[in-house]
A and B are shown apart, each in its own frame.
Chain A
């Protein structure tokens, strides 16, 4: 995973609640056995016309002002539904590295951080202000500073955000979760032996 660096980027607006992972990456694209190549299918059913090729101009992310955006300002309960990690893979592959929403589905939220996507939780008032700012100034660039937990916007709607320190450190260092866990392999082995003594039938 690439370390997450402070950046200034166009913020795209998607003002829809309960965007589910079936929309983020429809099931017909889940058959690949690689992690890459999902970006072109991101939001496929909304993004493309019925021919599946030409862009639907009324879909918000096809707005030319949002081209190259790394930040996605989204509605409530983003990423609900299926556990498919193909959803954050598609989001990252498309070019986003930051999502801002009032709330996320649990599994999706975890999946984001494992794929270098910073999912920022904000209050309703903060969300409303960001959405209004983008609507009034499409193409506005936000500064995202994870180190200092700052979002800075041109119109001054910025704020400090909260984030779990463990997630923050991993994002900043680009650390591999598995390697981190395996540092405690001795503790896992000890636990496993005790667990086996307590519940021998689990191993039979």
Chain B
């Protein structure tokens, strides 16, 4: 039988199925951060259970960590306790942790690829919905809840129902200044935030294979915004080149053995998917969200839609609610919307390529009066690399703050947040009400779009730039 990549990975990790119960799937890699793990460790302790495979776990501290004045104690006592609890849990169980002082510290989905911890064909989980990021390597990577974190620690398996398969085919060539983020947003715009529910997505087509590994991570990262727990891209020469030589990548003879296996993972010619979605990359404009759901998105050359342009009653209602929260009028040009804040960073857009793209636009500009702009590298390694390339200087000269790594304003748990009513051009992944601070208004964009908006004080259609 012809199989998709998802089905091959599923089959090779199937452990057992008891009649009437869900199949048990074996887990190769378990990623961890401080927010969704403490109750899982507590559960293990109460039940007197041990971590089955400590070597399968890599942990970091990212959600609550300050992005400035890192040498000072964390001011928030509850956040401080959560960070300390993480350190104790990892110490007690012998787990590899990149703590706040480590030069390898950063956002979990940024540091894991930096160390080659995820390979093609693996099953990867994390108590974090953006785990789908690692699907960029041809792995089956998905987010789980804290009870499941505990389950994986104790058993190295998860009871799982098999998902349906969706092929998202992006043909054609992206126009200048358009990036992986614009592809990701355009896909969510097309499928809606529930369109992928129950599916695992495989991204394919000329525009996907043309992306760098960083770009593929950005696209897979936002699979969850389309409702899919996992998104994946077939591994190819770029994937192998990215992994080779990394700390946790196979070495010597194991490398050739692994390589042969990875090449066998590709979806068989003629295998079928339950659903196929197609997009033409050439038609994708730089994207900006206007609402409070990632599917509420238009091109930078577009306008804020009016509720009555939606045929579906639910979408009409959602549009009305979003316009009220976002304080926007229908038919306003996106380029007429003024911003108070710009944020570049997060597991979606906190990689070196993102800062390069933003720096290209930010170079020689000044942040507009009244706008606060913060650049938050996804890891210390990204920060260091950017500094080697002089990107930090470009941002600082333009009036941006150059911070230490962390999730920061993507979800505003660490004190980096919008004030009530402030409007932000953000490279993160969710524009939900209050996501970046109560009453804060988020517009999701690419790093280059955020840099252009910071300089102009309003959104800019960067496709019109030279």
Contact = CB atoms under 8 A, between A and B. Distances in A.
A189 B275 CA distance: 36
Interface in B144-163: 144-148, 150-151, 154-157, 159, 161
B252 to A, nearest CB: 10
B432 interface: yes
B193 A165 contact: no
Nearest to A17: B314
B194 A18 contact: yes
A61 interface: no
A192 to B, nearest CB: 7
B385 interface: no
B64 A31 contact: yes
B438 to A, nearest CB: 6
Given A111-B145, A182-B154, A203 B432 contact: no
Nearest to B18: A184
Contact of B145 (A75, A114, A176): A114
B39 A20 contact: no
Interface in A161-180: 164-166, 169, 176-178, 180
B24 A77 contact: no
A201 B257 contact: yes
A166 B47 contact: no
B55 A201 contact: no
B250 interface: yes
B227 A18 contact: no
A31 B15 contact: no
Interface string A175-195: 011101110110110011001
Contacts of B434: 22-23, 26, 45
Nearest to B153: A178
Contacts of B24: 181, 184, 187-188
A147 interface: no
A181 B42 contact: no
B99 interface: no
A82 interface: yes
A115 interface: yes
Contacts of A32: 78, 82
B318 A18 contact: yes
Contacts of B36: 83-85
B363 to A, nearest CB: 34
A54 interface: no
B306 interface: no
Contacts of A195: 13, 26
A148 interface: no
A30 to B, nearest CB: 5
B448 interface: no
Contacts of A26: 434, 438
B435 interface: yes
Nearest to A114: B147
Given A83-B129, A111-B147, A114-B147, A31 B78 contact: yes
A82 B39 contact: no
Contacts of A107: 129, 143-145, 229
B32 interface: no
B16 interface: yes
A45 B64 contact: no
A34 interface: yes
B64 A105 contact: no
B172 interface: no
B28 A23 contact: no
A33 interface: yes
B26 A166 contact: no
Contacts of A88: 145
B42 A77 contact: no
B159 A177 contact: yes
21 contacts: A22-B432, A31-B35, A31-B82, A33-B81, A75-B314, A76-B194, A81-B224, A83-B36, A83-B127, A84-B145, A105-B197, A110-B145, A164-B161, A177-B159, A181-B154, A182-B155, A187-B15, A187-B16, A201-B119, A201-B250, A201-B254
Interface of B: 12-13, 15-16, 18, 20-22, 24, 26, 28, 35-36, 38-39, 42, 47, 49, 55, 63-64, 76, 78-79, 81-82, 85, 119, 121-122, 127-129, 143-148, 150-151, 154-157, 159, 161, 193-194, 197-198, 224, 227, 229, 250-251, 254-255, 257-258, 261, 293, 314, 317-318, 321, 411-413, 420, 430, 432-435, 438
